[in-house]
Structure 1
Amino acid sequence: MLFIFSIHPYDVGDLVAIDDVHMFVTEFGLFSTTFQRVDGQVVVAPNSLLISKKHILNIRRSGPMWETTEVMVGFDTPLEVLHEFRARLRQYVMDNPREWKGGLDVNIEFINNQNLIQLIIAMEHKSNWQDWGARWDRRTLLMKEMKRIMDSLNITYKLPTQPISFLPQKPGPRQRSSRREDTPVQSQHPPSAVPSRASSTNATPTRTNNPSHAFQSGHPFTSFRFPATL
């Protein structure tokens, strides 16, 4: 009851931020509150948890809101170019008073190892972010103008050149074992000790049953001795 009637942190339809999550209040009951996130998910939270452990940011009840974005530029970018970049962005905000209140600044957040310059750009909206779609429309138009200005001023950022060296790869245990398997096994006998197939073929005697063939080749018949008759 104290949370509803005394504190009364929001009303139905308000855009709130709890734990950096933006949600619209859809139902405000006695014991719980129903929210709908900007991505469509529905969240039901007990009021006892909200009153004791959560910080509630009411966007609808807020005034004009600021927003920041970060840009990386090369370390060799001249300071005069950065000043011109800031001046053109501020002029764009002044030329669109219906969307922007007029506050815009470009500051150097940090320099990283003489490699890049991190810029942080802060801009002030004309109103709060209750109209969630209009907020993103304003932001997108400003981002497009920022890109056009950076292209015209040739503001870029490139990763630093990294040295690359190629070292010979040492064979691992598997590669060494595969190399040993691929090596042909050499015979331990000298070449002269291994008889050739051709010589062994020529040395094999042949017998023929054709007598004419035997006489033509110059070999007589083999003599046979018959046993004496009994």
Structure 2
Amino acid sequence: MFSAIIFIFVKHPFDVGDCVTIDKEEYVIEHISLLYSQGRSVSSRKYTHFPNCVLNSKPVENISRSKAMHEVFTISVSYDTTVEDVDVFRDEFRRFVGDNGRDFYKEDVSVELCGFALDKLEVRIQVRYKGNYADGRRIQRKAMVLGELLRLTRLVPLFGPGGGAAALGSGDNPSFGVTVTPEDAKLRVDAFKRNKESKRTTMHG
């Protein structure tokens, strides 16, 4: 009872109608009493009952009380993507955001290389919506961004991991085969294994 009183009257993290995130799930609060609160899941529309004494020990993110919010998108591109390609992509995306100033903040756009592996690069795109996720336009704005990202990856173009080369074996990238005897094939495999093992770093001492 004491924990529930602290949660409702001291912390007071939400009101009826607020959109909140609890345990990574978004809910719209529909009822609040002294001992429990009830919310409906945004994704599944299921009605959920929360004891307030339990909520008192959980982080509750109130989306409705938040200000303008960011959304982050990450795309994987080919390792041979140039810095100039990323610059063109960034300029074009900023132009899109500027043309849609009623939905996005142009000054908060970020398009940067954020990581790489031996076979790909990671490009992170961050955009700030005018309004928070509770205003009912998040899905519309996100769809606008995703549509523009798809258009720009084709326009620049940016290729996915592996690059934009023709498929191996196609007319534009033919493959050739060499026939060897089983004995010769075994000798080559064994030689490759010995060479591979000889390059292994070993600890001494």
TM-score range, shorter chain: 0.7 to 0.9
Which is worse superposed, 153-162 or 31-40? 153-162
| Preserved CA contact (<8 Å) 2:76 2:120 | yes
Q: Secondary structure at the match of 1:77?
A: coil
Going from structure 1 to structure 2, the CA distance change for 1:34 and 1:47 (only over 3 Å counts) comes to: same
How far apart, CA to CA, are the structure 2 residues paired with 1:60 and 1:156? 38
Which of the pair has more CA radius of gyration? 1
Which is worse superposed, 27-36 or 3-12? 3-12
Are 2:88 and 1:84 equivalent residues in the alignment?
A: yes
Q: Secondary structure at the match of 1:13?
A: coil
1:10 equivalent in structure 2: 14
2:191 equivalent in structure 1: none
Partner letter of residue 4 of structure 1? I
How far apart, CA to CA, are the structure 2 residues paired with 1:139 and 1:60? 18
2:147 equivalent in structure 1: 144
| Preserved CA contact (<8 Å) 2:110 2:126 | yes
2:117 equivalent in structure 1: 112
Q: Secondary structure at the match of 1:140?
A: helix
How far apart, CA to CA, are the structure 1 residues paired with 2:64 and 2:153? 34
Q: List alignment gaps of at least 5 residues for structure 2.
A: 169-181, 183-205
1:119-198 correspondence to structure 2 within 5 Å: 119-132=123-136, 134-159=137-162
Partner letter of residue 91 of structure 1? R
**Deviation of the 1:9 alpha carbon:** 0.8
**Deviation of the 1:146 alpha carbon:** 1.2
1:38-49 correspondence to structure 2 within 5 Å: 38=42, 39-49=44-54
How far apart, CA to CA, are the structure 1 residues paired with 2:8 and 2:77? 50
**Deviation of the 1:158 alpha carbon:** 4.1
1:194-205 correspondence to structure 2 within 5 Å: none
How far apart, CA to CA, are the structure 2 residues paired with 1:138 and 1:87? 19
How far apart, CA to CA, are the structure 1 residues paired with 2:41 and 2:68? 22
Are 2:55 and 1:50 equivalent residues in the alignment?
A: yes
1:195 equivalent in structure 2: none
How far apart, CA to CA, are the structure 2 residues paired with 1:158 and 1:71? 10
Q: Secondary structure at the match of 1:26?
A: strand
How far apart, CA to CA, are the structure 2 residues paired with 1:130 and 1:121? 22
How far apart, CA to CA, are the structure 1 residues paired with 2:14 and 2:158? 44
Could you give the per-residue CA deviations for residues 58-110 of structure 1, whole angstroms, max 9, x where no partner exists? 00100000110110111111211110101111111111111112211112121
Aligned residues: 165
| Preserved CA contact (<8 Å) 2:63 2:132 | yes
How far apart, CA to CA, are the structure 1 residues paired with 2:140 and 2:45? 19
**Deviation of the 1:17 alpha carbon:** 0.6
**Deviation of the 1:6 alpha carbon:** 2.0
Report sequence identity in percent: 28
| Preserved CA contact (<8 Å) 2:79 2:162 | no
Runs of 4+ in 1 over 2 A off after TM superposition: 158-162
**Deviation of the 1:139 alpha carbon:** 0.7
1:172 equivalent in structure 2: none
How far apart, CA to CA, are the structure 2 residues paired with 1:59 and 1:68? 16
Are 2:100 and 1:96 equivalent residues in the alignment?
A: yes
**What CA RMSD, in Å, does the superposition of the two structures yield over aligned residues?**
2.5
